[in-house]
Chains A and B, each alone.
Chain A
Amino acid sequence: MIGYRLVRSFGSTALIARALLALALLMFSALAASAEMKIQEVVSSKGVRAWLVEDYSVPVIAMRFAFEGGSTQDPVGKEGLANLMTALFDEGAGPLDSDAFQIKLDDAGAEMGFDADRDRFEGGMRMLADQREEAFNLLALAVNQPRFDQNPIDRMRAQIISGIVARSRDPEYAAGLKWGEALYPGHPYSRRSQGMPETLKTISADDLRAFHKNVFAREKLHVGVVGAIDAETLKKELDRVFGDLPEKPNLIAVPDVAPKLGQTLSVTYDLPQTIIQMAYPGVARADPEFFAAFLMNHILGGGSFTSRLFEEVREKRGLAYGVDSSLSSSEHSNLLSISTATRSDRASETLDIMRTVIKDVAENGVTDDELAAAKKYVIGAYAINNLNSSAAIARTLVELQAEDLGIDYMQRRGALIDAVTREQVNAIAKKLLTVDPAIMTVGPEKQG
């Protein structure tokens, strides 16, 4: 299936994952009707806290949860640990070995998955309401008593290493790694979340147990639940799954870091296209200028078919299939990144056009009409991007808690966005876009 628009990005996978999360979060706004969605705060008798949206229209329950501390918590020399661990929760827990656990999970009619980005270790489960108890029992086993048996560790490690080796000659992958290292030299954000073959080989079952003990704790746990379950029942399930975890995590401190801009990198490779990637400063989620920056990004290149970059690069000149900008706000760093892939003989022309568009926004700002349209989009897009399934809503509930935005955030968000003025947008455009960016090109040596 091929389509009109592909949301295309590149860079290190960790960067992308974070950018997408940030985007999902940002779209969360106060559409009047969404504000009617009733979020209950549930606290179990052992003190486990969760946000719940009760809904019985489909006999399904979705749970999503996140522990603060993702791949930044990988010990030096053991990079890839968190990522390896995500593959091991259905590979044996408590009295059940890998095979027994998977058969039980299948019988329970549930789907369970874990993933880790740089800042968080997340998990989720989707189950049929009438098999709730069996499903939560298995989740409780996985969360509390993962076995980390040697056989599954070796198997999953081998699969991950194969994946890394398989991509090792892919120029886009190599370029993404180089990009991460150039932006965040020496910081955990520069590391590969998948690790490297040599670091993966050093990881033992004891390392996994230590990480599990350090990160899986209640203090920095956020839980979102959606579907056919009431608060009282959920309390019992929360205690069963999370109630016996230690109270406090033991996390490695990670410093905040500003991306290293003002540099030009080029990766020479005989490709049919040249990839252009640019990085400007971003804005923290808690920054009062955040929404001004978000609206500015939408107008510049975040707004798909309607953005200025899309108009100039694709619509007027046919230079590329996709061109986007995105604002990513991570726990320890913020970035505004812009990317495209264009025919190599017109790469420098494309880059010139992009810089002209960026300069124009920086110097002359946006129009009232553009800002009004951007506000309408950002406010209205909430339900579509965040409420389209139980799993999506559960994920959003976790995001709201992790970002400490408050249970009434949905009701407030529309007004926060509406209050942003053109002067504020123009000021943040000037502040961010006049900085000398980092630029990377990946493509043939001789570029037009």
Chain B
Amino acid sequence: MATSFRFALAAISLLALTAPALTEDGSGVSNFKLSNGMEVVVIPDHRAPVVTHMVWYKIGSADEPPGKSGIAHFFEHLMFKATKNHPAGEFDRKVSEIGGDGNAFTTDDYTAYVQTVSPDALPTMMNFESDRMRNLVLTDDVITTERDVILEERASRVDNDPGALLSEEVDATLYQNHPYRIPVIGWKNEIEQLNRTDAVAFYDRYYAPNNAILVVAGDTTPERVKELAEATYGKIPRGADLPPRVRPQEPEQNTSRTVTLTDPRVSVPSFSKRWVVPSYRTAQPGEAEALDLLSEILGGGTRSRLYQKLIVHDGAASSVGAFYQGSMYDATAFGVYGAPQGGDGVAGVEKAIDAEIARIVKEGVTNDELERAKTRFRRGVIFARDNSTGMANMYGSALSTGSTLKDIDEWPDRIAAVTAAQVQAVAAKYLVPGKSVAGYLLPSPEAVQ
């Protein structure tokens, strides 16, 4: 997946929130479409004089043409270059000089551009953001320099980090056919070949209002956003209709696989195990919710089964947990991970984690632990409303991965409806030992003491 293993771990606590989630009745979220097909979501929050303005394109690394890995992310960088109307850097300077914050990010399924500014700057942000949707000027010179930046970014994020290197190759093994097997940043040899022609083709195909979602959260109103959006984004002609978003799908998997990286920078071994499971968009009703709860009960923090058994009770592990990346367009990953305590190898930790999974498959989860997990999710929904940038991210990512506002609205109810039997059923159905990929990060033999 996009995220390195480490990122995935860091994101665990967020998964409950970034999965289609949120909003109680009367949350005040509005949604409409511009005549050119651009979708708009407004999430008012008047506590602070701040708005978060985001444009989400429904284009991620999993949509890239074969052999062009990294183009979605590369293109995200190019969006900060000159347009017909503004020299390179002018947008950044504008954001900066009003004390705003701007950035962009790319994942397997979407690319998003964000500015957090004071509300009076919203028209300016929409002017610039809508301008670069269609008016970018790409020269060979710009492309060459930015490609070097991205190669350094890849070196910083991946090559400098053995855990990230392993994670890339675990994903390449987990997904046998789906493009989630390819890293978001791209393979180095393919990044080196990306060129102006690729960039222009990508821009013309995917950067259009009918493939974009505008999300504005914070100190504004739906009426104001509508008026401003119609005057900026609304003037851009609708692009050609995009074909349905169909990526190569995973075949049936029939093997367990292992991927091992030994590296002199590693001193404590660690391991992860992942399975391909449905995402919120692809799951049968209730299954994604059950997987979310399973991940929480199995390995979602200090009250989880893995933590209590391996760390508190046995003292066998120094870290342990589980994750479910439900907010993905296609079938996604469920994973567990752990590292041993003291000088032990990973075998004991792996065996103990397997045993805990087997126990849930055999005996299920208790109603008490299920209710506690649900309560934590409900609490997360309320806490999430405290941060409007977080709300914008949650809505944008959910909508970009095929969920609807209705899905988001109903998520708490659907979580509440999950039964212990359903949690047990998804564990039995998906966490099958013979269809997993295990990744081992090990110290170099000569470094072992």
Contacts and interface: CB of A to CB of B under 8 A. Distances in A.
B265 A171 contact: yes
Interface in B85-141: 88-89, 92-93, 96-107, 116-118
B268 A166 contact: yes
Contact of A273 (B45, B100, B160, B386): B160
Given A273-B159, A305-B92, A166 B267 contact: yes
17 contacts: A3-B103, A3-B105, A106-B372, A159-B341, A166-B318, A171-B265, A273-B152, A273-B159, A316-B145, A318-B145, A318-B147, A319-B148, A321-B149, A341-B160, A372-B97, A388-B387, A388-B388
Interface string A238-255: 000000000000000000
Contact of B149 (A155, A163, A168, A320): A320
A1 B7 contact: yes
A389 B387 contact: yes
B2 A1 contact: yes
Given A31-B118, A341-B152, A384 B101 contact: yes
A2 B382 CA distance: 28
B309 to A, nearest CB: 13
Nearest to B266: A169
B47 A4 contact: no
Interface of B: 2-3, 7, 45-50, 73, 76-77, 80, 88-89, 92-93, 96-107, 116-118, 144-153, 155-157, 159-160, 184-185, 264-268, 270, 302-303, 311-312, 315, 318-319, 339, 341-342, 372, 375-376, 379, 382-383, 385-390, 443, 447
A305 B102 contact: yes
Nearest to B102: A305
Given A4-B104, A109-B379, A158 B2 contact: no
Given A304-B96, A305-B80, A376-B98, A57 B47 contact: yes
Interface in A26-62: 29, 31, 33-34, 37, 55, 57-60, 62
A343 B147 CA distance: 13
Interface string A302-313: 011110000100
Given A168-B267, A306-B92, A381-B100, A4 B76 contact: yes
B220 to A, nearest CB: 13
Contacts of A380: 97-100, 118
Interface of B is mostly: mixed
Contact of A317 (B102, B145, B151): B145
Given A126-B383, A128-B379, A321-B152, A4 B48 contact: no
Contacts of A210: none
B327 to A, nearest CB: 11
A172 B49 CA distance: 39
Contacts of B339: 162, 166
B265 A303 contact: no
Interface string A96-127: 00100011001001010000000000000010
Contact of B267 (A4, A169, A388): A169
B77 to A, nearest CB: 6
Given A3-B103, A106-B376, A170-B265, A163 B318 contact: yes
Given A170-B265, A321-B152, A387-B47, 18 more contacts: A3-B106, A4-B76, A8-B156, A31-B49, A60-B382, A128-B382, A166-B318, A166-B339, A272-B160, A273-B156, A305-B80, A305-B92, A314-B149, A319-B148, A319-B152, A341-B156, A343-B151, A343-B152
A388 B217 CA distance: 11
> What 3 A-B pairs are tightest by C-beta distance, nearest first?
A380-B99, A318-B148, A162-B318
B182 to A, nearest CB: 13
Interface in A378-396: 378-385, 387-391
A2 to B, nearest CB: 5
Nearest to A392: B387
A276 to B, nearest CB: 13
Nearest to B443: A169
A118 B210 CA distance: 51
A388 B153 CA distance: 28
A103 B153 CA distance: 43
A373 B151 CA distance: 31
Contacts of A391: 386
Nearest to A270: B264
A381 B99 contact: yes
B153 A169 contact: no
A446 interface: no
Nearest to B98: A380
B424 to A, nearest CB: 22
A383 B312 contact: no
A169 B48 CA distance: 45
Nearest to A162: B318
A365 to B, nearest CB: 19
Contacts of B385: 58, 60
Contacts of A109: 375, 379
Given A1-B105, A1-B106, A60-B386, A373 B96 contact: yes
B103 A5 contact: yes
A59 B7 CA distance: 30
Given A158-B341, A380-B98, A388 B48 contact: yes
Nearest to A372: B97
Contacts of B103: 3-5
B210 to A, nearest CB: 24
B145 A390 contact: no
A165 interface: yes
Nearest to A385: B101
B106 A102 contact: no
A376 B153 CA distance: 30
Residue in A57, A170, A171, A384 with the greatest tally of chain B CB atoms within 10 Å: A384
Nearest to A173: B265
Interface string A12-32: 000000000000000001010
A201 B394 CA distance: 43
Contact of B105 (A4, A55, A166): A4
A378 B385 CA distance: 27
Interface in A143-173: 154-155, 158-159, 162-163, 165-172
A170 B164 CA distance: 13
Given A57-B46, A109-B379, A319-B152, A1 B3 contact: yes
Contacts of A387: 47-48, 50
A391 B384 CA distance: 12
A204 B89 CA distance: 56
